[in-house]
Structure 1
Amino acid sequence: ELPEALCPTAEDGILQNKGVIEVVTCFRHRYEAGLGGGVFMVVACKNDYSRMIVTTKGQIPNAKGTTALIYRPYHLCGVETPITLLCAGILNVSTGSETYLPKYDLVQTAVRDLKAGEIIGNDHDPALQASIIPATKMGKGSAVPAHMLNGNKLKRDVPAGTLLTYDLVAEPKDSVLWKLRRKQEEIFSN
């Protein structure tokens, strides 16, 4: 259903524009492949030739054949990190961009009214809806990255539809994740 939903409204999808970054949650049976921890993209098929190439390589098209899902439903746990370390540490080969900058954050919006003192759930919490936005610096009014919210308390009531920001969330004591975010901002602000 991803190539059906993640295409422009003109093609019966939900997207207002092309070139959109989106987050999804897949409901599936235990024996079906999922996207948990994996990566995907929905690509446009502009002509018969590209449609034929994409769909004959096993990718999943929408009914109109205008988009297709390309995905890897898993991370190669225990393989990707050692390969990166090998390339960088031993071979002295970069595994990333030389102009890397944090550009986007996965953030959460309240789906229902949340109460002060409520503990914020993880990225699969039905009370929250994830979205990806341009990265912002830590501070009042700035969105807290989703994984920095997990298990933290709300400082005040949050109405449904509100983006969870630093001024709404009690910062945990001695959080390595929050310290790393500050360090990231320090490094990349220069």
Structure 2
Amino acid sequence: MGLYEQLIERERSGNPVAIGLVGAGQMGSGLVSQVALMRGMRVMAIADLALDRARHAFTAAGVADDQIVEVSAPDIADEVLRSGRRIITRQAQLLPHLAGLEAIVEATGVPDIGAQIAWATILGRKHIVLLNVEADVTVGPLLKRMADAAGVVYTGAAGDEPAATLELWNFARTLGLEVICAGKGKNNPLDRSATPETVAARAHEVGASPKMLCSFVDGTKTMVEMAALANATGLTIEKRGLHGPEASVADLPRIFSLRSQGGILEQTGVVDYAIGVAPGVFVVFTSKQPVVIDELRYLQMGDGPNWVLYRPYHLTSLETPLSVARAVLQHEATIAPTCGLVAEVITVAKRALRAGEQIDGIGGHTVYGLVDRAEVARCERLLPLGLAQGAILKRDVAKGETIRYDDVVLDESQTIVQLRRLQDRLLAA
């Protein structure tokens, strides 16, 4: 039985998949409205510090205002869910413990909150779907291990670029094709010094958070997404920060080939990105089988020796309900760090920083991220970007300089810091 048929069966049985959502921003609100169009699942609870935003996410999806109840206590929340009404709350930690929910979607984009909610959801024996890739690349291997032990699914989200690229990678490797490079397009001009203020006008135009848009423009989001792809596939990082050439789709097989073939790569089996092919994702592949090569040429895929698979879209949070359905109905992850920590997103000073300054985190004024091989980051004691927010610098750091563990005092109150320490011990063992 396919996923659609399974959802129809849940609808017919009067037992739709019940979802809790943490974060009612652009991504979360899109998910709520998309689920409202589907059969066999319902978003039943939303947690957000801004209750008006949570309420609007429901009403925009067609939920009557008198069917939305603000709650703060678990017993009342479970009673509301049993009555079929929807919940809004400021208390995100409430959702993982509600008996009436089967899966939690975390969509805040804040690494520490993502880690907190994922951990609580796993302890609550519920499936967790992270739209928070920043948390995943920091403590995902530990969270996956704990979810496996608890018998629940830990997964990233369909519609995000790592998951969309993984679909193409799985297609290629299942057919026995050799993957040269897998990656995504980037459509924002790269500006490592971008701040929320410098992108504010553009953010207002497109209806996005300036901080979120800043993380795209300064390249951090691309680094995070490619780290997640590497951790899911085992594909490696050839160069700190990746190559990121300008390219058209037709250029990809030529550019992402070995130097001996006129390309930019020293090795195959890597992740990277290209400017100019967004919003799509791609896999560059090759084959040594003469009959397969002839067939590819006959199918007008190009002359070779490399070819490209290209998906020209990814629907972000509009696809995320598919990950919820796969987790609940098929006990299957869409994307997860099954290869452990292959890549690390490290912390780099966006401007000259002074001893005593506090790092403001992703999409802010102080740092950006670059991806590198995890063993390099470990050897050089480079600070994972997901741990940087709230850290206090112990020394001056020059613009463009990498920040190390020894350069900062971490915020030990953060869940993500404690989980990362545990993950490091487990991986070392």
Establish whether TM, by shorter chain, passes 0.5.
yes
1:130 equivalent in structure 2: 370
Q: Is the 8 A contact 1:45 1:68 kept in 2?
A: no
Distance of 1:130 and 1:50 partners within structure 2: 39
Q: Is the 8 A contact 1:141 1:166 kept in 2?
A: no
Would you say 1:19 and 2:263 are equivalent positions? no
Distance 1:51 1:94, change over 3 A: same
> Cα–Cα, structure 1 residues 149 and 71, in superposed 2: closer, same or farther, change >3 Å?
farther
Corresponding position of 2:80: none
Specify which of 297, 301, 323 is matched with residue 52 of structure 1: 297
More helix by share: 2
Could you say which residue in structure 1 is the equivalent of 2:395?
156
Residue 40 (structure 1) aligned with residue 282 (structure 2): yes
CA distance in 2, matches of 1:99, 1:108: 17
Between 172-181 and 113-122, the greater mean CA deviation after superposition: 113-122
Contact 2:358–2:393 under 8 Å retained in 1: yes
**Higher Cα radius of gyration:** 2
The residue aligned with 1:82 is 321
The verdict on how the C-alpha distance between 1:7 and 1:128 changes in structure 2, with shifts beyond 3 A counting, is: farther
* Alpha-carbon distance change, 129 to 167 in structure 1, aligned in 2, over 3 angstroms: same
Query: 1:50, 1:114 → 2: CA distance?
Result: 55
The reply on whether 1:144 has 2:388 as its aligned counterpart is no
Q: Percent identity?
A: 24
Aligned amino acid, residue 297 of structure 2:
M
- Quote the offset at 1:102 in angstroms: 1.7
- Alignment CA distance shift 1:112-1:73 (3 Å): same
Do the aligned partners of 1:110 and 1:158 also contact (CA within 8 Å) in 2? no
Residues 78 and 150 of structure 1, relative CA distance in 2, 3 Å threshold: same
Return the alpha-carbon distance in structure 2 between the equivalents of residues 68 and 181 of structure 1: 39
1:43 Cα deviation (Å)? Answer: 1.6
* Structure 1 match to 2:208: none
Deviation for aligned residue 1:128: 5.9
Task: Determine the C-alpha separation between the residues in 2 that align with 1:94 and 1:51.
Answer: 32
Stretches of structure 2 that go unaligned for 5 or more consecutive residues are 1-246
Deviation at 1:16, TM superposition (A): 1.2
Question: Retained in 2: the 8 A contact 1:105–1:132?
Answer: yes
What is the CA distance between 1:44 and its match in structure 2?
A: 2.6
* Aligned 8 A contact 1:51 1:66 in 2: no
Contact 1:141–1:167, Cα closer than 8 Å, also in 2: no
Displacement of 1:133: 0.9
* Residue number among 236, 255, 275 corresponding to 1:5 in the alignment: 255
- The DSSP-based 3-state class of the residue aligned with 2:316 is coil
Counterpart of 1:13 in 2: which secondary structure? Answer: coil
The whole-number CA distance in structure 2 between the counterparts of 1:50 and 1:148 is 49
Q: In the TM superposition, what is the alpha-carbon distance from 1:7 to its structure 2 partner?
A: 1.5
Size of the aligned set, in residue pairs, is 173
Which amino acid counterpart does residue 326 of structure 2 have in structure 1? Answer: C
Relative to structure 1, the CA distance from residue 113 to residue 34 in structure 2 (aligned partners, 3 Å threshold; closer, same or farther) is same
Partner Cα separation in structure 2 for residue 168 and residue 53 of structure 1:
57
**Counterpart-to-counterpart distance in 2, 1:53 and 1:163:** 49
**Structural RMSD (CA):** 4.6
Name the SS of the counterpart of 1:88 in structure 2: helix
What's the offset of the Cα at 1:18?
Answer: 1.9
Unaligned runs of 5+ in 1: none
Query: SS where residue 71 of structure 1 aligns?
Result: strand
Contact 2:352/2:399 (CA < 8 Å) preserved in 1? yes
| CA–CA separation in structure 2 for the residues paired with 1:153 and 1:129 | 17
